[in-house]
Structure 1
Amino acid sequence: MNILITGGTGLIGRHFINKYLHQHHFTVLSRQIHPPSLSNQLPGGAKEHQDKKDIVLIQHLQGFENLDAFDAVINLQGESLADSRWSEKQKQRLCQSRWQVTEQLAQLINQSASPPEVFLSGSAIGYYGRQQALDIDEDFADCYPEFSHELCRTWEEKALLCREKTRVCLLRTGIVLSKNGGALAKMLPPFSFGLGGPIADGAQFMPWIHIDDYCQALNYLLQQENISQAVNLTAPTPVSNKEFSQTLASQLGRPCFMPMPGPVLKLLIGEMAELLIHGQHVVPKKLLDAGFAFEYPTLAQALTQLLAK
């Protein structure tokens, strides 16, 4: 496939390109193009592959009148939720870094005479808001009205503007586990020193997914014509924050007895703490019903692979 991918120099984008470089051709859009960060993840380096026209790096969509040249679009662009406190100004950045490019892509697809076959557009399990319900699948509609829900709801609405022209999948993403960055990288230092522990009472659920399974699911969705709209990209076995903490500590051979009280976390990082204190028991029903096989269905399997020396 000839794929346009936004956020292609981010954690997931780099991994996906590396994994499927010899299966697809990529045009990579990034808010901050930095070829070395991409080339470090690619066998032979980015320049070699650019010479082969396997990868084309672009900084913006200006000059595109349509997306007729592409078989698929994968939209992963967006400023990290965890980079800084959620001031009103930062909330605007979080929203606009997602909404603007998604709306622009949808418009270009609508302007295409021969549009891409599929549009995989980012979202997050934050769409559901804080929840006490179990087994939240893609049909769950009783969402809690908070910032994360509003951000994801509008994000998804903008992607669906082109659903009459192409198949749209909304990627409701859980916590992506990778040894090269993301949440796990932030957790490893304190846990490695025996200073890790659950957040608040630890009862809140953490829907997670191994980055290899995430990327395999993306490739699966590119080809599964019967899957559209919301898709939960999480492992089939969500765990509580307490179980996650204990499993990680056990894998590292460290104790797990240093809880982070909720009020202290709120003091340290502000409203963003709500994402960690409250959780959701999200399950990937559409993927499982379609027959997708997870390589790392349990947390112990995922961490064993990621933490192997």
Structure 2
Amino acid sequence: MSEPLQWVLNLLIAQGLMGAFDTVYHHELTVRLPAQRSARLELAIHAVRAVLYGLLFAGVAHFAFQGFWALAVAALIAVEVGLTLWDFVVEDGSRKLPASERVLHTLLAINGGAVFGLYAVQLVQWGALPTALVATDSGWRGTVLTLFALGVALSGLRDGWAAFRLSRAVSVPNPFAALPHRRVLVTGGTGFIGTALVRQLLDAGHAVTLLARDPLRAAYLFDCRARCVRSLEALADDEVFDAVVNLAGAPVIGPRWSPRRKAQLLASRIGTTQALLGWLQRAETRPGVWVQASAIGYYGVRPADETLADDAAPGQGFMVELCRRWEDAACTATTYGVRQVVLRLGLVFGDGGSLPALLLPIRLGVGGRLGSGRQVMSWIHRDDVLALIANALADQTMAGVYNAVAPEPVAQATFAACAGRQLHRPVWLALPAAPIRWLAGEMAQLFVDGQRVVPDRLVARGFRFRHPDLAGALRSLV
């Protein structure tokens, strides 16, 4: 094997490692591309590129391409380069890439240029030989590249399937389309619920002002259709908003709830809420309604047979303190004559949030019962959360606290079994609660404890859930 060809193999291995990291960390975990309808074209390009890369990895590792075959491989590389350039254009037009992804793409482009440049020299030499496909032995490099070829091809098939699913996805009626024009101030608009909320408001023709830590990223996210501000100080006293939707808050699932982490979770909610109240106090014209997010964590850990309606008393623990203090801070808005609707959200199921993490072990075939499996999961589909917010904006009689949960709470073991049926996977593993509590500390209550919460006030109002049962909700998402 020539020295240039050894360098090609080494650089291809580096390309495979960087590409795998980019796919897993950026596309799957950070951006969740397979769930983004706006990324359908990007996913389709990735699918074709990945399959071609799989052919390239396997071919370079095991064959010498002589004569006409050298021209065929050169053509494949030219198509690959063209797709990469097209991908750059599509990415820049559809989303703001994080800095780490831009840096990694630059490194991939440099490394890829080196690979193709060195390999072009080899192809020129092979092209002068009689046409033949000659098997070669690349040793351990060949084995590694064969594994990479399989992995990248599977990744391409996954992206292709995701693009196909997104193209076939049924459009959900926009609950904000029937509302008169609204000017809405939103916090937490780049989160799981907020992103869908802002998009639907904009699609329905409403004006949205978004409070965001990174206004540029938020502007990219919503195609520059939303006004994005870093601070409420940027709002003039005479600005008029018809509604405020306060969703801001750091995710509760993450690092262990150390004293520092608890302080961050509290500050991310109460600090933003107090800033909103500061703006409300100086505003010359006040909004008609304030929709406030909270969570069923307000009720704390409760026995599986205890049913919790909207007027149930709070429980004990950090989640209780977090929700109670958040609600208490927000309720000051009512002293300014603003109608307030508080939504105590259950587990919100959608293409992001907690559901992908809950489904991952089941997708991998190792799903099952957590702890006793009897702990109750009170959940709601994101489509129904958005419909609730639309109702809150439209209905002047809607005020106070509402349990934003579906009418069918389920035991965790029932959820796992239902998800297994939808994904066609076995559900067999039983994970004891003790190691989960040891690893997650107090946060473990989110996984192995629960509460049976019911939406009595919503049912009494005649609210119609689009996804009232778990099987239908999961079917729409998986």
TM-score by length of 2: 0.59
8 A contact 2:192–2:353 mirrored in 1: yes
Q: Could you say which residue in structure 2 is the equivalent of 1:4?
A: 185
What's the offset of the Cα at 1:291? Answer: 1.5
Larger radius of gyration: 2
Q: Could you say which residue in structure 2 is the equivalent of 1:26?
A: 208
Ranges in structure 2 where 5+ consecutive residues have no aligned partner: 1-181
Q: Could you say which residue in structure 2 is the equivalent of 1:134?
A: 306
Query: For 1:39 and 1:68, how far apart are their aligned partners in 2?
Result: 24
- Match of 1:209, SS state, is strand
- Match of 2:308, SS state, is coil
Correspondence for 1:144 among 312, 315, 329: 315
Residues 1-309 of structure 1 correspond to what in structure 2 (within 5 A)?
A: 1-23=182-204, 24-33=206-215, 35=217, 39=220, 46-47=223-224, 49=225, 55-64=226-235, 66=237, 68-132=239-303, 133-141=305-313, 143-164=314-335, 165-179=337-351, 181-307=352-478
Deviating runs (4+, > 6 A) in structure 1? none
Query: For 2:361 and 2:199, how far apart are their aligned partners in 1?
Result: 30
Ranges in structure 1 where 5+ consecutive residues have no aligned partner: 50-54
Cα deviation code 1:149-178 (max 9, x no counterpart): 011111000000111220111121110111
Cα deviation code 1:226-266 (max 9, x no counterpart): 12121111111111111111101111111111122111111
8 A contact 1:67–1:116 mirrored in 2: no
Higher relative helix content: 2
Query: For 1:110 and 1:303, how far apart are their aligned partners in 2?
Result: 43
What's the offset of the Cα at 1:89? Answer: 0.2
1:34–1:276 Cα change, 3 Å: farther
1:67–1:117 Cα change, 3 Å: farther
Query: For 1:257 and 1:302, how far apart are their aligned partners in 2?
Result: 22
Query: For 1:189 and 1:151, how far apart are their aligned partners in 2?
Result: 28
8 A contact 1:30–1:77 mirrored in 2: no
1:264–1:229 Cα change, 3 Å: same
Cα deviation code 1:245-295 (max 9, x no counterpart): 110111111111112211111122221001222111111122221121111
Query: For 2:208 and 2:256, how far apart are their aligned partners in 1?
Result: 34
Query: For 2:236 and 2:448, how far apart are their aligned partners in 1?
Result: 44
8 A contact 2:347–2:378 mirrored in 1: yes
1:39–1:298 Cα change, 3 Å: farther
- Match of 1:257, SS state, is strand
Cα deviation code 1:41-60 (max 9, x no counterpart): x5xxx13x2xxxxx101112
Higher relative CO (Cα under 8 Å, sequence separation at least 6) belongs to 1
Name the stretch that deviates more: 86-95 or 272-281. 272-281
Matched length = 294
Query: For 1:170 and 1:82, how far apart are their aligned partners in 2?
Result: 22
Cα deviation code 1:186-217 (max 9, x no counterpart): 12221111101121001111011111111111
Query: For 1:3 and 1:12, how far apart are their aligned partners in 2?
Result: 15
What's the offset of the Cα at 1:11? Answer: 0.8
Query: For 1:224 and 1:39, how far apart are their aligned partners in 2?
Result: 32
What's the offset of the Cα at 1:22? Answer: 3.0
Query: For 1:163 and 1:122, how far apart are their aligned partners in 2?
Result: 15
What's the offset of the Cα at 1:34? Answer: 5.2
Percent identity of paired positions between Structure 1 and Structure 2: 35
- Match of 1:62, SS state, is helix
Query: For 2:446 and 2:357, how far apart are their aligned partners in 1?
Result: 15
Q: Could you say which residue in structure 2 is the equivalent of 1:52?
A: none
